[in-house]
Amino acid sequence: MYQWRKFEFFEEKKTKIPEEIEGEIQCCSSGRGRIVLGSQDGTVSLLDRGLQLHYSFPAHSASVLFLQQLKQRNFIVTVGEDEQMPPQKAAVCLKVFDLDKRQEEGSSSSSPECVQILRIFTNQFPEAKITSFVVFEEAPPIIFIALGLENGCIYCIQGDIARERIKRFKLEVHSGQSGKIHSPITGIGFRVDGQAFQLFAVTPSSVILFKIQGEKPIAQTLDHIGSETASVMNDRSELIIGRPEAVYFYEVDGRGPCWAFEGEKKFLGWFRGYLLCVIADQRTGKSTFYIYDLKNRLIAHSIAVGEVSHMLCEWGNILLIMADKSALHVVEKDMESKLDMLFKKNLYPVAINLVQSQQADAAATAEVLRKYGDHLYSKQNYDEAMAQYIHTIGHLEPSYVIQKFLDAQRIYNLTNYLEKLHEKGLASKDHTTLLLNCYTKLKDVEKLDIFIKSEDGVGEHKFDVETAIKVCRAANYHEHAMYVAKKAGRHEWYLKILLEDLDRYDEALQYINSLEPSQAGVTVKEYGKILIEHKPKETVQILMRLCTEEGEPARGGSSNGTFLSMLPSPVDFINIFVLHPQSLMEFLEKYTNKVKDSPAQVEIHNTLLELYLSHDLDFPSLSQTGSSENGGSDAAVMSKAESNGKIISDDASLEKDRQERHQKGLVLLKSAWPSEQEQPQYDVDLAIILCEMNSFKEGLLYLYEKLKLYKEVIACYMQTHDHEGLIACCKRLGDSGKGGDPTLWADLLKYFGELGEDCSREVKEVLTYIERDDILPPILVLQTLSRNPCLTLSVIKDYIARKLEQESKMIEEDRIAIEKYQEETSTMRKEIQDLRTNARIFQLSKCTACTFTLDLPAVHFMCMHSFHQRCLGDNEKECPECAPEYRAVLEMKRNLEQNSKNQDYFFQQVRNSKDGFSVIAAYFGKGIISKTSEGPVEDPSQTNDHSNGNY
């Protein structure tokens, strides 16, 4: 023990016990933030933290022998002597004081209420000198009091002392030789372990453990050597006793460790893991107070003291009370001060042990370890320094350590540190990059394999996966990079290495086939361009599997629309075919042949149309194949230069391919627009633009005809001067009986009139249909054809003759009709004038209704019909015979007036009529257009004769 280092981890401060305490201090206790002193005169004094007297009270009339401040309740338990009636004799009794109940509030002499007084010695418990005293609080209000006697007995009192609900029993300590009770009890200590309740007893000749939780206590001798002086219990429920040669620790199963501190142990204590000893030197007789740190094997403090009477621990301090009533406060220094003291002496291991034993936080411990590591690093002890730095992982910034070991000579230590950093899951991307670079620089493939291929490496994400892949790939460790990518499920990286670094296209395709459809779709979108370039057929097969799920059971003749909507669309993969339109065309053709009701059918058809109708397609795959088959690209160029026929052959094949694609485009235009559907399964505007751009006449004619743009149809024929096709088209589309547009013949006649060449035969044929359907009047025909100088009058001579003859007949018919209407009108006017000016004589003798003889009363109408009044009933204002005809005229007039307001019907009649002017003339003739509705009243000054319609 003399080799233990001595430190000053504590500092002392001397004070004095207040002078008000006059008697000799017999006992003391601490707890609940105060010190309690028992004096020889029977007074109990309570001191505060500054050792100032709070108050005193007389507890016993003679003296206070023992006392203890309870922790869970504000009670003090005292054992003292009280004078009895025979003054020569004093009785020992136990008292319990409730400090919360004061008898005289505010008085300096006020004393707490004594809630119970017990006589200790009775007939069953003979009187003896009390040598030790301890109180254990089981569960308030239950307490357990043990009194050690000089005769070797232990008196026990258990229960609620305040209510005197107690039980008494005694424990006897027998000597091993004679079996007589003779050894005084020098120390007592309670120990609770779960349900087990045990009591240590110390005598000069033995150490005994009593198990008292049962009905009958059981004694167990732990040691046949005891102690005559000090003993104490530590915070681990171990008994500590001091002997001149050493300090011994006891547990329930016997003696434990011992520490050879020589000297007489006057006092023992335990404070925050420190062993407190007041040891008297046997040679000089002087006493020294020691504070031992047993875990770190050092003396935390030592000071020479006088005669110590009592030792206490309270307020986080140690208090030594001397015989001369002086006091010594011993206070522990803060951790920073203690560490500074150790650092100055380079005692870093001691500092580390100290912070660990004091249960300091991890950050403080890491700081000490860092300083120790810096100290070792400065001495060039790199291995030991790294061992300390590794313990700081999680608290010390890794860059601090990494920067110190970046030198190539210390790369092994740096590798070790980075490995530990990854094991604890605290590595960043940069740390992973650095560790892998260390492995690659050291060419340590074995460690690289362990780091990369360990079973818990990727799964627990102990390193950044993407960083590891990048570093391994950059260092040409492609297999390791692929392993990490595959295990981590980073399919895009796995394929990137296979395709860009290793050119293993077949393996990449197999890997994509093994993935889930969703993952496979993502990878194909990213790397499809490379795959299409080198493996077009295999890539198209993968796309077909993804878009149609060919591996699934057959779905019958029709595809399930809901199922198809869950699959990727071919449109999503169009971008990978940007340089390979031929492969795209094959892929979309296969897809459309297999799937008939795809949700993306319009987009697919649009793309196919663009491919079919384009003027030229590049075939890089075919050109490469042709070059390899012809013995290389140079040979192919030479063969082209040597043979002009070869070029002609290539042009012919391209033209043939173009015709085939145009034919496919026409088939698609027709098949994707069934007659039963109003809208096609492609974008019509886009299709028209494509046909126009690529001069695809057949498709353009089909689309115009489907859209009923007949004038655009004939315009196509006119542009190509296809007269036969033009006439045939007008025959098909100009028949109004079949929903055609007869005005096409007028446009055709205008075309021939402006043609500027001899087209007599075509004009005659056109005039036949114009005459048949009466499309144009002869004057317009003459004006139109007169513009063509190549046409002669003989072309239209027969047509004009027939039209003149027809016009003459129509004129004669109209003249006859006019004369007839004039005669009828003259007759009506005469009749009206006669009705207005002359009297009417009614000579009918019979009723028109019942044909009986007419008698009065009778009713005569101006239409010369007469009726019995009874035959007319209530309707006397109109003739029953003429009323229906009159109502029909009125209804016709009313309908004409309503039609005059229906503009849509009027314009529809004008459009549908061969001669629109005749419709307008009919409206005028019926007096519809000439009549206007009465508008709002206007200023008379602004009206004229035409405002009322009489014009």
Give the neighbor-by-neighbor strand order of the sheet with 239-242.
231-233, 239-242, 247-251, 254-259
Contact between residue 767 and residue 753 where contact means Cβ atoms under 8 Å apart: no
Strands 5-6 and 298-305 turn out to be parallel
Judge contact between 613 and 668, C-beta under 8 A: no
Q: According to the model, what pLDDT value does residue 289 have? A: 94
Closest CA to 169 of 227, 231, 139, 212: 212
Query: What is residue 270's predicted lDDT score, i.e. its pLDDT?
Result: 93
Q: Look at phi and psi of residue 852 and say left if phi exceeds 0, alpha if psi is from -120 to 50, else beta.
A: beta
Nearest to 140 by CA among 106, 163, 112, 123: 163
E strands, 150-217, in order: 153-160, 165-172, 187-193, 196-203, 206-211
Rounded-to-integer distance, Cα 320 and Cα 616, Å = 108
Q: Which pLDDT value is given to residue 2?
A: 55
Closest alpha carbon to 69 in 58, 77, 59, 61: 77
How far apart CA 152 and CA 135 sit, in angstroms, is: 18
> What local confidence, expressed as pLDDT, does residue 394 receive?
86
294 neighbors 28 (Cβ within 8 angstroms):
no
Contacts of 285 (CB under 8 A, 6+ apart): none
Angle between helix axes 633-642 and 620-629 (nearest 10 degrees) is 90
60: which residues sit within 8 A by CB, 6+ positions away? Answer: 42, 78, 80, 81, 82, 93, 95
Q: Is 158 helix (H, G, I), strand (E, B) or coil?
A: strand
In whole angstroms, what is the distance from residue 589 CA to residue 608 CA? 8
Phi, psi of 97 (to 5 degrees): -110, 135
Q: What pLDDT score does 562 carry?
A: 56
| Ranges of residues in the chain whose predicted pLDDT is under 50 | 1, 107, 455, 457-460, 553-559, 619-647, 935-951
C-alpha angle 315-317-320 in degrees, rounded to nearest 5: 120
Q: Torsion angle of alpha carbons 702, 705, 710, 713, nearest 10°?
A: 0
| pLDDT at 640 (0 to 100) | 38
C-alpha distances out from residue 430 to 421, 437, 460, 670, Å: 12, 10, 18, 62
* Cα–Cα separations (whole angstroms), residue 471 to 406, 475, 632: 18, 6, 39
Express each pLDDT in 407-462 by its tens digit: 757 888 888 888 888 888 888 878 877 887 887 777 777 777 777 776 454 444 55
Which candidate, 434, 436, 364, 440, places its Cα nearest to that of 395?
Answer: 364
Helix axes 760-773, 794-837, angle to 10 degrees: 20
720, 744 contact by CB (below 8 A): no
The helix or strand, by DSSP H or E, that contains position 232, with its residue range, turns out to be strand 231-233
Dump pLDDT digits (tens) for 459-494.
445 567 777 777 777 777 777 777 777 777 777 777
Written in H, E and C, the secondary structure of 437-490 is HHHHHHCCHHHHHHHHHCCCCCCCCCCCHHHHHHHHHHCCCHHHHHHHHHHHCC
Q: Which amino acid is at 616?
A: D
Helix (H, G, I), strand (E, B) or coil at 495: helix
SS3 923: helix
Q: Tell me, what's the pLDDT at 927?
A: 64
| Closest of 893, 891, 865 to residue 880, by C-alpha | 865
Give pLDDT, residue 28.
Answer: 94
Sort 680 into a burial class: Cβ within 10 Å, 0-12 / 13-18 / 19+: buried
**Per-residue pLDDT, 416:** 86
Sign of CA dihedral 619, 625, 630, 633: positive
**What's the pLDDT score for residue 182?**
67
- pLDDT recorded at residue 540: 82
Query: pTM for the full model?
Result: 0.52
What is the Cα–Cα distance from 291 to 269, expressed in whole angstroms? 9
**What does the alpha-carbon distance between residue 735 and residue 418 come to, in Å, rounded to a whole number?**
90
* pLDDT, tens digit, 9 for 90 and up, residues 358-404: 777 788 888 888 888 888 888 888 888 888 888 888 888 888 888 88
Per-residue model confidence (pLDDT) at position 412: 82
What is d(CA 47, CA 419) in angstroms, rounded to the nearest whole number? Answer: 59
Residue 812 in tokens: 């004669």
Determine the Cα–Cα distance for residues 292 and 299; give it in Å rounded to an integer.
5
Q: How far is it, in rounded angstroms, from Cα 785 to Cα 750?
A: 7
